[in-house]
Amino acid sequence: MNNYKKTAIAVAVAQIALMSGSAAMAQESATGDAAVVIVSGQRAALNSAQKVKQNSDEIVDSIVADDIGKLPDRSVTEVLQRVVGVTIDRTMSKADPEHFSVEGSGVSIRGLNYVRSELNGRDSFSANGGRSLNFEDVPPELMAGVDIYKNPSAERTEGAIGGLVNLRTAMPFDYKGMKVALSGQATYSELKKGRSSPSASGLFSNRWKTGIGEVGVLFDLAYSESATRTDALQVEPYFPRDDVVPGKTVWIPKGASWRTLNFERQREGAYSALQWRPNRDLSTSLTYFKSRYKMDWDEQAIFAASNPYNILVSPGATYDGKGAFVSGTLTDPADKGINYGGDTRIANRKSDTTDVSWNLVWRPSSSWTFKSDLQSIRAKTANLDSTVATGVQMPKQQLDLGGGRPNLIFDSADLAYLANPSNYYWAFTQEHADRARPREARGRVTPSTMSITRCCAISASACA
């Protein structure tokens, strides 16, 4: 056994010697200078995200752009859903499950909704009636990364009950020299009759060493459009009934609804940054950020509005093993027919957010550091929502829910009834309009020393 071990070790040493000799011979035989191959790609992005986690005392996930001016999704909201523990809403509003959002809307962290939003570590908001930023309003092309804090520490600004989302933009000193990036794409929509929606972005950054120190500038612009159409057919909620099938409780739907929604949005963004570092102990930066979001949509819908406990089920209906209605014909003699409403709805919203921030970092000695921030943020929004609806009492409604999707059946008598204008009446009209213009001015001074593990801060802010 000992001889075998010695032999194995000897063979290994011999192989190493041969490999070293071959390498030496290869070096001697090589002529000229070897070419330098630089490989860039996902590794740099992954390393950057990993460093954010390692350098933080909190539970934080980070997503960084894998290319200059580019994040992997069409909205910041879609970027956030890639993080474990983060979910997004696929409807335009939590209280409105009937209207879908193509690019996502609200964000929840570990099931909690009170999520604070920041831009480069500073407060940021939209004029949406809340205290957070509408992530769908922000162009993802302007972002260098997104940090998600799942357990914000006490030293952070209050309000992050569910968590904190910090949007980071690039700075001139992030790059070694001049950087220029251009991107463009077009999205083709089949449901919108072949309409294409363009998107484009451009970035320029450079830094120079001058007589007054090192100076850097960065400019970033983004523009994108989106045009989509959503077709939906849904079954209204089920209600328990013990008067339909003798001796058994069955579940009967109120009816079925269907709608078509055409959605168009336009998003613009502009960002610029100026950095100055006269020496290694003093550095300052000035940033300007502006996002503009414009949305228009129109909808045509027909929805059931009958009293679920007045609905009768014609003989021959089928139910599943739990008593839920599967197929059959519904009538409502008490209300003179199945009550249906047909609406036409238009809505538009325009919102702007402008942020101007100044930062100064001064190290008067090796043990002391002073950081100061000044910020001015303004937001505004205007929203209009108008709905007009008619009503009709359908003699009956035939449903087949046994297939892969709900099926609403119209026979010749139903089609003739719907084609008669005298069977319709005005049901309701609804108008909603609002405007908001919040503002905030904020200042913060943070002295810290190497002998204190946690720094203290003096801050003041004014909101309107």
Shared domain check, 377 and 275: yes
Q: Which of 375 and 87 is assigned the larger pLDDT? A: 375
Confidence band of 366 (pLDDT split at 50, 70, 90): confident
Q: Count up the domains in the chain and report the number.
A: 2
What pLDDT digit, counting tens, does each position of 79-124 carry? 888 888 888 888 777 777 778 888 878 788 888 888 888 899 888 8
Shared domain check, 423 and 285: yes
What pLDDT digit, counting tens, does each position of 245-281 carry? 988 999 999 888 889 999 999 999 999 999 999 999 9
Shared domain check, 120 and 174: no
How is residue 287 annotated by DSSP?
E
Give the pLDDT confidence score for residue 445 in this predicted structure: 87
Give the pLDDT confidence score for residue 99 in this predicted structure: 80
Of the candidates 153, 168, 183, which is a domain's last residue?
168
Give the pLDDT confidence score for residue 4 in this predicted structure: 42
Shared domain check, 186 and 163: no
Give the pLDDT confidence score for residue 324 in this predicted structure: 94
8 Å CB contact between 172 and 179: no
How far apart (Å, rounded) are the C-alpha atoms in residues 330 and 222? 53
Mean pLDDT, the chain, whole residue set? 83
Shared domain check, 423 and 383: yes
In this predicted structure, the answer to whether residue 2 has a pLDDT above a threshold of 80 is no
Give the pLDDT confidence score for residue 49 in this predicted structure: 52
In a domain, residue 269? The reply is yes
In a domain, residue 299? The reply is yes
Tell me the residue range of the domain where 79 lies.
41-168
Shared domain check, 231 and 134: no
How far apart (Å, rounded) are the C-alpha atoms in residues 373 and 158? 18
In this predicted structure, the answer to whether residue 408 has a pLDDT above a threshold of 90 is no
Mean pLDDT over residues 316-335, rounded? 93
Say which CATH number the domain at 66 has: 2.170.130.10
Q: Which two tokens stand for residue 229?
A: 């159409």
Shared domain check, 237 and 131: no
Q: Rounded to 5 degrees, what angle do the CA atoms 367, 369, 374 make? A: 175
Phi-psi region of 49 (alpha: psi -120 to 50; beta: other; left: phi over 0): alpha
Q: What are phi and psi of 417, to 5 degrees?
A: -65, -45
What pLDDT digit, counting tens, does each position of 17-66 carry? 444 444 444 444 444 555 555 445 445 555 555 555 555 556 788 888 76
Shared domain check, 116 and 178: no
Mean pLDDT over residues 392-399, rounded? 92
In a domain, residue 20? The reply is no
Confidence band of 311 (pLDDT split at 50, 70, 90): very high
Give the pLDDT confidence score for residue 44 in this predicted structure: 52
In a domain, residue 422? The reply is yes
Shared domain check, 257 and 361: yes
Of the candidates 120, 149, 168, which is a domain's last residue?
168
How far apart (Å, rounded) are the C-alpha atoms in residues 293 and 284? 30
Q: What are phi and psi of 370, to 5 degrees?
A: -115, 130
pTM: 0.78
In a domain, residue 262? The reply is yes
Contacts of 119 (CB under 8 A, 6+ apart): 133, 166, 167, 169, 289, 355
Give the pLDDT confidence score for residue 181 in this predicted structure: 92
How is residue 334 annotated by DSSP?
G
Shared domain check, 221 and 181: yes
Shared domain check, 197 and 80: no
Give the pLDDT confidence score for residue 51 in this predicted structure: 58
DSSP 201-260: EEEEEEEEEETTEEEEEEEEEEEEEEEEEEEEEEEPPEEEEEEEETTEEEEEE--EEEEE
Shared domain check, 108 and 247: no
Share of the chain above pLDDT 70, in %: 80
Of the candidates 151, 168, 185, which is a domain's last residue?
168
Give the pLDDT confidence score for residue 380 in this predicted structure: 94
